[in-house]
C-alpha cells in the first residue's frame, strides 16, 4: 500500500498560478480582468460568489463595468457559495445581504439568474438539496471566487479528517465564528450552509483571493504544495486553472519553489 501511495504522489502534477500584486487595488483589478475575459467568452457565465471584505473591490469594479456596458452582464448568473445558518432572513450580517448590496443589485441579477441559500430555512438539509439540484441542472460553475480563512477554510468547508463533495450543512469552527461579518452579533450562527469541494474543483476557473497582514500565516502554509483536508484551501493545487491572487500585505516575501518539489509547477507573477 505504501509503495502505491508513493507512486501516485510521484506521478501527480500540481499546478497553480500565484500572482502577487503591490496593492489590494491591483489585485482586485487583476481578478476583475480574469472574470471579464471569461464573461466575454461565455455570456451566460455562472459566477460563484463569496461574501465578505476580500472580494468587495472586485465587485465594485464589475459594477462600474456594468454601468458602462450593461448588456455584457445580461445573461450572467450568480451562485452563492455559502451562508451563515440560523440568522433571520435578510439579516444585515448574512452573506446574501452582502452579495445583494455589492453584486446582485449593481449588476441587476434577478430571478432565476441567482441561486442562494436561505439562512432562515427551517430545513437546512433541504436547502443543500436544492443547491445540489440547481448545480446538477445548470452547472458546472464557470468562475469560483474564494477567500482564504485564517484556518485554511474555503467557503465554509472547515478543516476536518474528510471533506464533503457537494452542498452540505457545515459545523463552524471558533475561528470562523470570529469572522468580521459576525463581530457585532451577540448570538452567532448555529451552522453553515456551503457548497462542497467537488463543486468548487469542478469550476472552469478558481480565483482564490488573499489580502491583508492577518492572512500571512495562512498564505505561507497555502504556498507549500501539500494537499490536505486539514487545510481545505490547499485543494486549489489540484485545479488546472487555479489562481492565487494576493496583495503585498499578505505576501511580503514570496520564495522560489523548493528544489525538492520536483513534481510541483508554480507560476509566480508580480502585478
How far is 132 from 222, CA to CA, in rounded Å? 28
Kindly list the catalytic residues: 82, 151, 153, 158
> CA–CA separation, 129 vs 115, rounded Å?
12
The residue length of the chain stands at 271
Which single residue is written with the C-alpha cell 452582464?
A: 73
Q: In whole angstroms, what is the distance from residue 34 CA to residue 65 CA?
A: 13
Find all residues with CB under 8 Å of 22, minimum gap 6, and list them: 247, 248, 270, 271
Backbone angles phi, psi at 174, to 5 degrees: -60, -35
Amino acid at each position: 500500500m505504501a509503495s502505491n501511495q508513493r507512486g501516485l504522489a510521484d506521478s501527480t502534477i500540481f499546478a497553480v498560478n500565484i500572482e502577487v500584486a503591490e496593492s489590494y487595488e491591483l489585485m482586485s483589478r487583476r481578478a476583475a480582468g480574469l472574470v471579464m475575459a471569461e464573461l466575454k467568452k461565455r455570456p451566460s457565465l455562472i459566477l460563484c460568489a463569496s461574501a465578505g471584505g476580500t472580494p468587495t473591490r472586485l465587485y465594485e469594479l464589475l459594477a462600474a463595468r456594468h454601468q458602462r456596458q450593461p448588456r455584457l452582464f445580461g445573461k450572467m448568473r450568480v451562485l452563492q457559495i455559502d451562508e451563515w445558518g440560523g440568522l433571520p432572513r435578510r439579516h444585515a450580517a448574512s452573506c446574501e445581504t452582502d452579495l445583494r448590496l455589492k453584486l446582485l443589485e449593481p449588476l441587476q441579477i434577478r430571478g432565476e439568474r441567482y441561486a442562494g441559500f436561505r439562512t432562515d430555512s427551517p430545513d437546512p438539509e433541504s436547502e443543500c438539496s436544492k443547491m445540489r439540484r440547481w448545480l446538477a441542472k445548470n452547472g458546472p460553475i464557470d468562475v469560483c471566487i474564494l477567500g482564504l480563512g485564517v484556518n485554511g477554510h474555503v467557503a465554509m468547508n472547515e478543516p476536518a479528517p474528510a471533506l464533503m463533495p457537494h452542498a452540505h450543512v457545515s459545523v463552524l469552527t471558533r475561528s470562523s465564528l470570529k469572522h468580521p461579518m459576525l463581530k457585532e452579533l451577540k448570538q452567532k450562527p448555529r451552522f453553515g450552509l456551503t457548497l462542497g469541494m467537488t463543486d468548487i474543483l469542478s469550476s472552469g476557473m478558481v480565483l482564490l483571493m488573499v489580502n491583508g497582514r492577518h492572512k500571512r500565516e495562512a498564505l505561507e502554509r497555502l504556498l507549500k504544495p501539500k494537499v490536505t483536508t486539514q487545510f481545505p484551501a490547499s485543494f486549489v493545487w489540484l485545479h488546472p486553472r487555479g489562481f492565487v491572487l494576493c496583495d503585498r500585505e499578505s505576501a511580503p516575501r514570496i520564495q522560489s519553489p523548493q528544489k525538492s518539489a520536483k513534481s510541483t509547477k508554480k507560476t509566480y507573477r508580480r502585478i
